[in-house]
Structure 1
Amino acid sequence: MAIPILLSSMKKPLSSLLVFLSLGAAQQSTACGGFFCNFVPIDQAGEQIVFRQDGDQTTAMIKIDYVGNAEDFGWVLPVPQSPEISLGSDQIFTELELSTRPQFLLERVGQGCPRPEVDFVALPASVVDSDSGQPSSGTGVTIERQLSVGPFDALVVSSDDPEALANWLDDNNLDLTDEGGNLLAPYIAAQSKFVVLKLKNSANVGSIQPIILKYQSDVPVIPMTLTAVAAQDDMGVLVWLLGNGRGVPKNFDHVTPNYTRLNWFNGPRSAYASYQNLITQAMDEAGGQGFATDFAGYLPNLPERFTTAKQWEDALAELAGLSDAGFISGFWQMGGSAVIQDAIRSALPTSNGFVYGEPLSMEEVFTVDQLAQARIALMATVNDQVITPLNNAIDILDDDLYLTRLYTTLSADEMDMNPEFTFNPSMPAQQLTRNATLTMACINDKDHWTLKLGEGTGREDELVVDSLGLGLPFGPAVNASEQAAVWQVEKTSATSDPVVLAKNEFPTVVSGDRTDSSLDVKSGGALSGGLLALLGLLLFREKSRQTARKKFQ
């Protein structure tokens, strides 16, 4: 029997959606995102998760993007025990990502040969566009709690039968595909509870917000085996870890890329895009299951870097003296919040294209009572779904805790193991910036330039490119792509120094007239012979991601 308060019992083939976030097995804190719908899994493009560890208490804030109809949206979250549940903030995720994004700084020294003047013809500009504990009528599923969390209606349920729970979810228009019982079995064996979330009838897709879960556990875990059902190839995974030391992967490898292959030469944005591609290639070469450290350290005044509740409280105060139409249009004009705009549309529904930012138009279309009620609803939304979630999210980001950002990309065939994390207080920091020096000169009317890696790359003062007679490239250095994408692979833990599993030694990339027989660029890096024999690595390049995992060359 379906639960009418929360879930619809009407089947909608090929449309209903389940977002399966897993907050996993006993004594582990887990968070993940996997999209499922009836018969056809919906691709998941990426995940962003913040973990905070305070002794044996874990707080997880999870962001998952969703595209679809509001009535088809649902989350299921297995948890070790009933957690504290609250709303987080999308805005904080955006600002946290920007605050911790790696930066690539190229210092330029000297000048190349002078260039002849060229007259350019201008081209046309392009267009830039409450507890019950009652079984659910013989279904084998016990409904333990019902609660309301922001735009969500929620149930906490339990079962000792994976197939019964899978059938219950299916009856409520939430389908786990044919793997339903198998996916649920490990969590039921661990006596997990299941939080089921659906949007309220009055909520739209724009109301979806991150969820914060707080509960007792030992280590953060991401159950990627669930995500594999609907993951895109090379799905990006961003993990922030706050704890008593540097966050490190416990059972995945720690991978440092070969920064020679980075596009240093066309500005920070191109460099960061190049870095993301480089990480994908490096993870493939390292076996498909690793994380790179984007940043590890203390960011001073971290909470002050984010949008605060005070800014919204000030807006409420500034608009308080306006008419109801003026108050509503003022918030509409502020923009930047889908939650606010969805709340206005829900309170004052009208035809598509109506401009809520014009008070006179609103007063012509809506009655005085409608505008007054909409103002009350909007104030409640600002307080409950903007201000409170901002405070919840900022409370997690304590600047007294060590902050680590890890990044990887994973495809479905690489999601056969759940990554676990721990904290190592003795490991050194990873600075936000990666530096390199480009030195240029003109020799016999030929450009001579060199690239030397600097701080943040792990290879300070290493000469990696030496070129004569060729101008600066538009992408990575010529011939650099023939090198391996991985520089070093390590095994990390909570107490020991990292153990180097593999390390490439690269010759200087030479190009143009600097190339000679003694400096031929080798394909890939050179692993030490003893280590090569120890690991039994094969010396060949895999061409396809769908084949066996790639090895170093």
Structure 2
Amino acid sequence: MRVLNKVTSLCAVLGAAWTLALPQTAEACGGTACDGGIPNSMPVNQDGENVLFVLNQNEVEVHIQISIDPDTNAQKFAWLIPIQEVPEFEVGSQPLFDALLQSSVPVYQLNQTFEQCGEDGISGGLSSGSNGDPGAGTDAGGSTSGADTDGGEDPVLLKTVAGAFEIVVLEGANIDPIKTWLLDNDFQWIEGSDEVLQQYLDEGQKIVALKLASGADEGDVHPIVLRYPSNENCFPLRLTRFASVENMDIRVFLLGNARAAPSNYRHVLVNPLKIDWLNFAANYKEVITKAVDELQADGLAFVTEYAGPSAVLQQFSFNVFNPSWNEAVFVGLEPQSVIDTLNNQGLTSCWEPGFCFYNHPLIEGILADFLPPPDGVAPEEFYGNLAAYVDQIDLMLWGDGSGFSTALNDRIIAPGVHAQELIDSYEYLTRMYTVISPNEMIADPIFHINPDLGDVDSFRPATEYNLCDGNSVVTLPDTREIFVPNGAPWPDFIGEMWWAEEIQQVALKGKPMHLVNNTAAINKKIEEWNLAHGWPRFPDDAPTTSASDSDTDTGTGSDGPDSATSGGQDDASGCGCRSEGSGGAGVLALAGLGLLAARRRRR
């Protein structure tokens, strides 16, 4: 039997995944470019560990996404969290994490334009197309009693529950009594973690342990929210290395009134020439991995994937909370009317036998607890036609519906209300990402607000201008042009050139301090490469290749581009295709399809 464990260290709070954890992936839709509607966008893969900090003054509120491999024994799941204070615990909202991931995912798009070819010589043209958009109920009770650990001091400060989780908070000067208590009470322990946990105890921290309640399974798993007084938003990694794998993805979301940045980690702007724009950034993780490992970043660095208005969440928040949700109507309701009522509230879409869609990830688990299908009947068949099985409904489990009503409120409605309040109350969202290995997890990153930082766009559109001779020129979002020879992949002319364009240290206010700035050297390489391939055709008219030598981290602003790939753009709407004259768009679109087909074959 494979066992899934999660050990997490929180100097503020964070979950660390074990290798058996199966992260959830949210992908936004791609778009169509200027080549007649062929999909031409790719969102970045979003596997990894995800955590949300709500940046309140003098209070830490952290939401931690928890995923369990369905092929493991969910009852063996356990989690340890060093933490500064005894927190309040609440059920978190998985739809909130879905909205965070979908609304801010970096999306790389390559639009197509085509040179007008013929006797009239060279005149530019623009074909048309469209873009796709990348796409507090706590069931808790406290207790200060615990098992006697060999007659020694009782380490238990609090016992409580939150949704599907049993939770205990322990403290002590020595890790041994805590370890003994946890093992005696069926919590998992990770061999080798004793020394690091002792370090957290020496720093005055307490230990929170979570496990799934008896009878719960992976279908009941939900994010967890912790809230406690502190002014330090810290993402601890020291203990995580015992549960980590090489090149582990860590993604941090921060809701506040301005952009956030790491305090004790570096901030990196990726060299956009390392991104494979012809294949829509298929090498994205490799680029980030190497950029944060550059000298001066040394593996302890983040990139910013999005920074801007939290309003982007609204279009993806339809499952976060719906005002039609109402738990009270289920008290006293006949069980055969439950699905019709859930359909009316938008929580399910079960309209006929064999078809049942659950519009919230926890609703199926709650139904299974209080209105389970009869033996041998598939859930979709049962919930799609309750009237046909009315004589087989377990009336003892359903009772008067009050248990179902309470679970619905605690696990779906109250978390949804709070999640929607966060979306409505905090005007700014920051999304940061890093790839880190166990040997690099030597410090716990801390995050802060810096009101002087600019926005970073998650939409990164480039344009490929297909020339009559089969070559092409790709204009990056920061306006720099790269010549691409006919039939060739994305140029590797840069050789061992820098993976990071800039490495910065970000203070509590003001512009970032540049520890490394490779912009001038990168621009020189671009110029040498282009001129060696005869681009531009008329050097005197060549556009500048210099990206702004900015002191701020901006994606849209007057100080220059910045993003995870230095690929921000002032106007990311529409196709963004360039035009060189008044050539006919329809003719260009037809002439260009052959060139596009040739380009795609070579990739």
Q: Name the TM tier (shorter chain).
A: 0.7 to 0.9
- CA contact 2:311–2:427 (8 Å) conserved in 1: no
1:452 aligned to which of 468, 475, 500:
475
Q: 1:188 to 1:176 in 2, by over 3 A?
A: same
Q: Pick from 152, 156, 173 the counterpart of residue 143 of structure 1.
A: 156
1:34 CA drift (Å): 4.3
**1:232-286 per-position Cα deviation (integer Å, ceiling 9, x unaligned):** 22111110112343211111111111112323235xxx43x43333212322334
Secondary structure at the counterpart of residue 445 of structure 2: coil
3-state SS of 1:232 partner: coil
TM superposition shift of 1:361: 7.7
**1:370-402 Cα shifts (integer Å, max 9, x gaps):** 574395544433222111111222333345443
Cα 1:314–1:88 change in 2 (3 A) is closer
Q: Which residues in structure 2 correspond to 1:305-454 (within 5 Å)?
A: 305-307=316-318, 311=322, 313-314=324-325, 324-328=335-339, 331=348, 333-347=356-370, 348=372, 350-351=374-375, 354=378, 355-359=381-385, 363=389, 366-367=392-393, 369-370=395-396, 372-373=398-399, 376-442=402-468, 446-454=469-477
Tell me which residue corresponds to 2:74: 70
Matched, 1:498 2:525: no
CA contact (8 A) 2:85 2:205 kept: yes
Change in CA separation of 1:512 and 1:172 when aligned onto 2, cut-off 3 Å: farther
More strand as a share of residues: 1
Match of 2:129 in 1: none
Q: In the alignment, which residue of structure 2 is the partner of 1:466?
A: 483
Give the whole-Å Cα distance in 2 for the aligned partners of 1:249 and 1:310. Answer: 31
1:20 equivalent in alignment to 2:22: no
CA distance in 2, matches of 1:131, 1:215: 16
Structure 1 residues 160-203: Cα deviation after superposition (integer angstroms, max 9, x where no partner):
22122122223333343332321221222233233322222232
Partner of 1:58: 60
Question: 2:299 is matched with which residue: 265, 270, 288?
Answer: 288
**In the alignment, residue 82 of structure 1 is paired with which amino acid?**
V
TM-score, scaled relative to structure 1:
0.75
- Cα distance change on mapping 1:364 and 1:87 into 2, 3 Å: closer
* Contact 2:249–2:435 (Cα < 8 Å) also in 1: yes
Task: Give the superposition deviation at 1:365.
Answer: 6.5
Aligned to 1:514: 533
- The letter of the residue matching 1:194 is I
- 1:252 is aligned to 2:265: yes
2: distance between equivalents of 1:430 and 1:500? 18
In structure 1, distance between residues paired with 2:82 and 2:474: 50
Q: Match of 1:487?
A: 501
Give the 3-state SS of the residue equivalent to 1:296 in structure 2.
Answer: strand
Distance 1:17 1:321, change over 3 A: closer
Distance in 2 between residues matched to 1:396 and 1:306, nearest whole Å: 11
Residues 388, 260 of structure 1: alpha-carbon distance in 2 compared, 3 angstrom cutoff = same
What is the match of residue 276 of structure 2?
A: 263
Matches within 5 A, 1:509-548: 510=529, 514=533
Query: Offset at 1:92?
Result: 1.1
Q: Are positions 1:222 and 2:235 aligned together?
A: yes
Partner residue, 2:113: 109
Matched residue, 1:536 = none
Contact 1:302/1:399, CA 8 A, preserved across alignment: no
Q: Which residue identity does 2:335 align to in structure 1?
A: D
Select which of 99, 103, 124 maps to 1:99.
Answer: 103
Report the equivalent of 1:237: 250
1:280-328 Cα offsets, whole Å, 9 max, x none, are 2322334222100111122337456413565373587999999623524
1:83 aligns with 2:101: no
Question: Could you tell me how far apart the structure 1 residues matched to 2:84 and 2:407 are?
Answer: 31
Q: Is contact 2:320-2:420 (8 Å) kept? A: no
Q: Distance in 1 between matches of 2:203 and 2:533?
A: 63
- In the alignment, does 2:200 pair up with 1:187? yes
Q: Is contact 2:267–2:503 with CA below 8 Å preserved after alignment?
A: yes
- Determine if contact 1:223/1:417 at 8 Å carries over to the other structure: yes
Query: 1:224 and 1:20 mapped to 2: Cα distance?
Result: 10
Distance in 2 separating the partners of 1:175 and 1:378: 30
Distance 1:251 1:335, change over 3 A: same
Q: In percent, how many aligned pairs have the same letter?
A: 25
**What's the Cα RMSD here?**
3.4
The 1:226–1:352 alpha-carbon spacing in structure 2 relative to 1, beyond 3 Å, is: farther
Change (3 A) 1:174 1:180: farther
Q: Distance in 2 between matches of 1:282 and 1:352?
A: 54
Q: 2:50 aligns with which of 48, 55, 65?
A: 48
Which amino acid letter does the alignment assign opposite residue 149 of structure 1?
A
Contact 2:261 2:448 in 1 (8 A): yes
Q: Aligned to 1:278, which of 287, 306, 329?
A: 287
1: CA distance, partners of 2:439 / 2:496:
26
SS in 1 for 2:289: helix
* Cα shift at 1:228: 0.7
CA contact (8 A) 1:440 1:447 kept: yes
CA contact (8 A) 1:239 1:407 kept: yes
Contact preservation (8 Å) 1:140, 1:161: no
**Which whole-Å CA distance do the structure 2 matches of 1:301 and 1:407 have between them?**
18
- Count residues with an aligned counterpart: 464
Equivalent position SS for 1:209 = coil
Give how far 1:74 is off.
2.1
Which amino acid in structure 2 is aligned with residue 181 of structure 1? D
| Equivalent in the alignment of 1:126 | none
Please report how far the alpha carbon of residue 368 of structure 1 lies from its aligned counterpart in structure 2 after TM superposition.
Answer: 6.4
- State how 1:117-196 maps to structure 2 within 5 Å: 130-134=141-145, 136-137=147-148, 138-196=151-209
Contact 1:18 1:174 in 2 (8 A): no
How far apart, CA to CA, are the structure 1 residues paired with 2:285 and 2:400?
44
**1:477 positional shift:** 3.7
SS of 1:380 mapped into structure 2: helix
CA distance in structure 2 between the partners assigned to 1:242 and 1:360 by the alignment: 42
Find the aligned partners of 1:316 and 1:171 in 2 and give their Cα distance.
38
The residue matched to 2:238 in structure 1 has which SS? helix
* Unmatched tracts of structure 2, length 5 or more: 24-47, 119-140, 351-355, 536-603
Counterpart of 2:552? Answer: none
Tell me whether 157-166 or 131-140 shows the greater mean CA deviation.
131-140
- Find the residue that maps to 1:224 and give its secondary structure: coil
Q: Residue type of the partner of 1:210? A: P
Letter aligned with residue 501 of structure 2: W
Contact 1:44 1:230 in 2 (8 A): no
